[in-house]
Amino acid sequence: MSENAPPHIVVLGGGSAGWITACLLHHRWGDRGGNVTVVESPEIGIIGVGEGSTPQLKAMFDHLGIAEAEWMAACDATYKLGIRFTGWSERPGFESYFHPFPGPVDLHTEPAFTHNCMLARRGFKVPAHPDDWFLATKLADAGLGAKAEANFPFAPSYGYHFDAFKLGAFLRDWAVARGVDHRSLKVEKVELSSETEVAALLCEGGERIEGDLFVDCSGFRAMIAGDALGGKFTSFGENLFNDRAVVVPTDKVNEFKPQTEAIAMKAGWRWHIPLTSRTGNGYVYSSKYISDEDAAAELLASVGLQDGDAEPRFLKMKVGRMAESWRGNCLAAGLAQGFVEPLEATALHIVIATALEFAEAFEAGGFTSKHRADFNSNIGKRYDGIRDYIVAHYRFNQRSDTQYWLDNAANQNLSGGLKAMTTAWFTHQDIAAANQQNYSIQAYSSASWHCLFAGYGTFPPEAKMQPLPEQINVADREEIAAMLSACAGNFLPVEI
């Protein structure tokens, strides 16, 4: 960073977003005189959910030089190789599918999967269920870990499950030990020096905290970016119906699988997340289709609890994003910046991307507008790409048991990108090319799009499927299964 000296950064909020941002920006600029202060109110507290990650969290720990042995035990963490979707489709044979994090072995098997998908899309009866083609799927099903023995160099990429409170506390201690200033104070007012510039945070007791850059990690309230600066919020409410969640922990599971389960419910879905200390469960639902009481009862029954066995915790979700994550001298991160919904566990992924991409843009252009505009555009595209992929889970559901699922399947509020991906699938176009054409920032790979469509069995109706003519080649599922089983033999079960 030659021209732009590191700013003095004030982070409002000590949830996962606040501490991740503080760690990353301090790591980047701390030895060049950049200092970071985190202000949080223990009285307000943190949201305390968000227990699943993408591989981006591993990349972050690697970037910070924090070993798994150091943080995983402290946060009750387990490995995650992907997400198993259960009950999103009623089509026989497609009641469940796994969305894996891709790895190097899959480079060899994915073309076979997409080839068979293309045949099935054209109406030929061939094996095209996603569970047959990816190493992570085999490992998760067998309860095997993410780590291969040393002589097997093709590990899958993986994320984690963790306790959200403990993750925040771990990062706080790590950051404070390296010089980040931590203030337990409630901010009462944001003092502005212009329409887009923050001068200071005014705290209870009269303290005034000044800075060059203010990072708003105050949660859904968005106290700086929203309340004080009036940043425009774009709601995703028309695309995504879910606006509530109810959570309840249960005991630790005995039989561990390194996967999140996303199980369809009457008016939404529930997660099942295995930690070393307990199991995280939460039902994400639409308040238009089910009451809080009924959602809690459905959740409790589905995890084997009776009414009164546990105290469910209810959360409201504000689904959408800030039109601009960075305005003036304020960067919004975490829930203050936006939230899609937790189906693909992408929130911390975006926090990490936001901090790292912001640092790049700031180094290139300081507070000038050129790099800021590019940064905002890229972050916006990232959110919108994730939104589209998640909307597709609902739009292409194949359930008919409740009005919630029927209305989701009839939802016409699809972006241009998602409409184009849908047309591409049904008109037998190349999905990788369509993904490239429609998303300049590809939040999801072609493999992910194939897993979703094929996982629901989005093929012509069973009655119209034809036997494959002899002259057309089909990828050999048995051969690939044997190869993946041989690879899986290099991995050990994970004990938790």
Ligand X SMILES: Cc1cc2nc3c(=O)[nH]c(=O)nc-3n(C[C@H](O)[C@H](O)[C@H](O)COP(=O)(O)OP(=O)(O)OC[C@H]3O[C@@H](n4cnc5c(N)ncnc54)[C@H](O)[C@@H]3O)c2cc1C
Contact of 192 with 329, CB cutoff 8 Å: no
The structure tokens listed for 37 are 């202060």
By CB under 6 A, residue 131 contacts ligand X: no
Nearer to ligand X by Cβ, of 32 and 316: the residue is: 316
Set 58, 80, 138, 318: catalytic member: 80
Least Å distance between CB 261 and ligand X?
Answer: 12
Token pair listed for 105: 């072995």
Q: Collapse the DSSP code of 183 into the 3-class scheme (helix H, G, I; strand E, B; otherwise coil) and give the result.
A: strand
Residue among 187, 229, 267, 353 that touches ligand X (CB under 6 A): 187
Please tell me the distance from the alpha carbon of residue 412 to that of residue 395, in angstroms, as a whole number: 9
> What is the C-alpha to C-alpha distance for residues 451 and 117, in angstroms, rounded to an integer?
9
Q: Is 222 in the site for ligand X (CB under 6 A)?
A: no
SS3 state at 315: strand
Nearest partner of 3 among 365, 461, 486, judged by Cα: 365
Neighbour-count burial of 212, counting CB atoms closer than 10 A to its CB (0-12 exposed, 13-18 middle, 19+ buried): middle
Binding positions for ligand X, 420-459, rule CB under 6 A: none
Which CB atom, from 126 or from 209, has the smaller least distance to ligand X?
209
**For residue 217, which of 187, 195, 244 has the smallest C-alpha distance?**
187
Q: Any contact of residue 342 with ligand X (CB under 6 A)?
A: yes
Q: Of residues 44, 66, 118, 409, which one binds ligand X by CB under 6 A?
A: 44
Q: Which is nearer to ligand X, 3 or 43 (CB)?
A: 43
Residue from 119, 190, 198, 217 in contact with ligand X (CB under 6 A): 217
Q: Which of 52, 102, 268, 380 binds ligand X (CB under 6 A)?
A: 52
C-beta of 218 vs 438, nearer to ligand X: 218
Q: Does 354 bind ligand X (CB under 6 A)?
A: no
The answer to whether residue 338 forms part of the interface with ligand X (CB under 6 A) is no
Range in contact with ligand X (rule: CB under 6 A) among 12-20, 25-33, 122-130, 388-396: 12-20
39 in contact with ligand X (CB under 6 A)? yes
Contact 417, 439 (CB under 8 A): yes
- Cβ 202 vs Cβ 208: under 8 Å: yes
Nearest approach in angstroms of CB 292 to ligand X is 13
CB of 328: closest distance to ligand X in angstroms? 20
80 as an active site residue: the answer is: yes
- Structural contact between residues 101 and 156, judged by C-beta atoms closer than 8 angstroms: yes
Contact status: 334 vs ligand X (CB under 6 A): yes
Stretch that binds ligand X, among 71-79, 169-177, 218-226, 465-473 (CB under 6 A): 218-226
Q: How far is the CB of 473 from ligand X (least distance, A)?
A: 40
296 near ligand X, rule: CB under 6 A = no
Query: How many Cβ atoms are within 10 Å of 308's Cβ, its own excluded?
Result: 7
Instruction: Rule CB under 6 A: say whether 49 interacts with ligand X.
Output: yes
Give how far Cα 329 sits from Cα of 219, 274, 366, Å. 18, 40, 10
Question: With respect to ligand X, which residue has the nearer C-beta, 119 or 333?
Answer: 333
177: nearest Cα among 355, 23, 352: 23
Closer Cβ to ligand X, 133 or 289, answer by number: 289
189 neighbors 209 (Cβ within 8 angstroms): no
With respect to ligand X, which residue has the nearer C-beta, 17 or 303? 17
Site string for ligand X, 247-286 (x = CB under 6 A): -----------------------------------x-x--
CA distance 323 to 332: 11
Number of H helices, E strands in the chain: 14, 23
Cβ atoms of residues 58 and 351 within 8 Å: no
Question: Does position 379 bind ligand X by CB under 6 A?
Answer: no
Question: What minimum distance in Å lies between the beta carbon of 307 and ligand X?
Answer: 21
- Residue from 56, 89, 116, 218 binding ligand X (CB under 6 A): 218
164 touches ligand X (CB under 6 A) = yes
**What single-letter amino acid sits at 379?**
I
Site string for ligand X, 230-249 (x = CB under 6 A): ---------------x----
Q: What is the CA radius of gyration of the chain?
A: 23
Look at residues 463, 455, 448, 459 and name the one whose alpha carbon lies nearest to residue 87.
455
The H or E element spanning position 244 is strand 244-250
Q: Cα separation of 495 and 78, whole Å?
A: 10
Catalytically active residues are: 80
Contact positions vs ligand X (CB under 6 A): 12-18, 39-41, 44-47, 49-53, 164, 186-187, 217-219, 221, 223, 245, 282, 284, 315, 317, 334-336, 342, 345, 347-348
